[in-house]
Amino acid sequence: MAQSKEIENIDELRKVRLADEGYIVITDSARSPLVHKINAKCITTDRFNDKVVIKGRKQGSYFWVDSVATAAREFEAKRCKACKPELRLVLPGTFDS
């Protein structure tokens, strides 16, 4: 069962990064969503704070996802070119429908 959930505050961001499982999708009203490695340097608390806390998620949000496949299916997210999250454990049928 594919999973994703919105990361709503810095505390949640810290928890998922400590757990070091899954990936982070950042949506943006101005461009395509990108999926990042969970501990990639491109994810910073400053940027998170700006987008989620200060701008109140009006211009995009952060989501935790269990896999790159989920990011692609649920968000149509592209892989970040900076941190290059890998495709792995892609089950047959993941990209169907």
Instruction: Indicate whether 82 belongs to the interface with Zn ion (CB under 5 A).
Output: yes
Instruction: Indicate whether 83 belongs to the interface with Zn ion (CB under 5 A).
Output: yes
Instruction: Indicate whether 80 belongs to the interface with Zn ion (CB under 5 A).
Output: yes
Residues in 26-45 at the binding interface with Zn ion, rule: CB under 5 A: 36, 40, 42
Nearest to Zn ion of 46, 96 (CB atom): 46
Closest CA relative to residue 39, chosen from 52, 22, 63: 22
Cβ atoms of 86 and 22 within 8 Å: the answer is no
Nearest to Zn ion of 39, 92 (CB atom): 39
Q: Distances in Å between the alpha carbon of 1 and those of 18, 40, 52, 70, 82?
A: 22, 25, 27, 10, 28
Mark residue 77 as left, alpha or beta (left: phi above 0; alpha: psi -120 to 50; beta: remaining).
Answer: beta
Instruction: Indicate whether 87 belongs to the interface with Zn ion (CB under 5 A).
Output: no
Instruction: Indicate whether 12 belongs to the interface with Zn ion (CB under 5 A).
Output: no
Q: Which residue is nearest to Zn ion (CB)?
A: 80
Residues near Zn ion (CB under 5 A) are 36, 40, 42, 80, 82-83
